[in-house]
Amino acid sequence: MKPTLFCLIILGCAVLGAAQSRVPETDTQSWNDVIFTVPMTKKVEFGMLGTLRFGDNVTTPVDERVGFGFNYKLHPYITLQEFVIARDARPPHGRKEHEFRLTFGAALQRPLGKFTLSDRNWFEHRWREPQVDAWRYRNRVRVEHPFQINKHKFNWFISDEVFYDWSLNDWVRNRAAIGATHVFNKHFTIELYYMRQNDGRARPGDLHIIGSLWRFKL
């Protein structure tokens, strides 16, 4: 075999391998969160959380998180929140990511007739590897309304959340969701939802998400 032909074959294989291993721009994922809360006083609540996300078209674990924090009920309509999270992730065909995150902010929630309107504002500092450290602001608006199926009570909801990243000086992400919650008893609530994420900078950034949130109150 001529050297030139041999080099072309090797180069072609390398290009094909790089194309196959490139981190995709889009993905379908399953996000699963568990939250345990323990009342400490009438106004203070301690919480622990765990997260497991499956990606690469819901075939591989791509994101794991654990954390803890506090909720402070300042007013019937205002709750202060702060918590820390440790995160390990690996996007499909991507490199491993490690992150330690500090989040603090406030959630405002108020009934409007049969509807409930909430506005959550979070500030986050993210110590990341291999990415640079960054500050981020998140604002989520959510509307809920009760309904019944065979005497079983539920709440449907729609929400939209936007993200501003100071390391990029831009609004970088949007998450729109629709779903429903069901309170089984005073100790257990489950939330199921579909979410669409749009993010032109992260990889993968544009996501279809089927999610669940399991809340346990001790």
13 pLDDT more than 60: no
Tokens of 163: 């993200």
Tokens of 14: 């390398």
pLDDT of residue 92: 85
Cα atoms in the Cβ-side hemisphere of radius 13 Å centred on 166: 10
19 pLDDT more than 50: no
Q: What is the mean pLDDT of residues 173-184?
A: 98
Helix (H, G, I), strand (E, B) or coil at 11: helix
Q: What is the mean pLDDT of residues 14-26?
A: 60
Q: What is the mean pLDDT of residues 182-189?
A: 96
Task: Kindly report the CATH number that applies to the domain delimited by 26-217.
Answer: 2.40.160
Binned at pLDDT 50, 70 and 90, residue 21 comes out as: low
Q: What CA–CA distance (Å, rounded) separates 121 from 211?
A: 21
**Stated pTM of the model:** 0.87
Q: What is the mean pLDDT of residues 103-110?
A: 97
Binned at pLDDT 50, 70 and 90, residue 37 comes out as: very high
pLDDT of residue 94: 86
Question: Domain limits of the chain?
Answer: 26-217
Q: Is 76 exposed, middle or buried (0-12, 13-18, 19+ CB in 10 A)?
A: exposed
Do the beta carbons of residue 182 and residue 156 sit within 8 Å? no
pLDDT of residue 151: 87
Do the beta carbons of residue 89 and residue 64 sit within 8 Å? yes
Q: What is the mean pLDDT of residues 185-209?
A: 96
Do the beta carbons of residue 56 and residue 92 sit within 8 Å? yes
pLDDT of residue 132: 93
Percent pLDDT > 90 in the chain is: 84
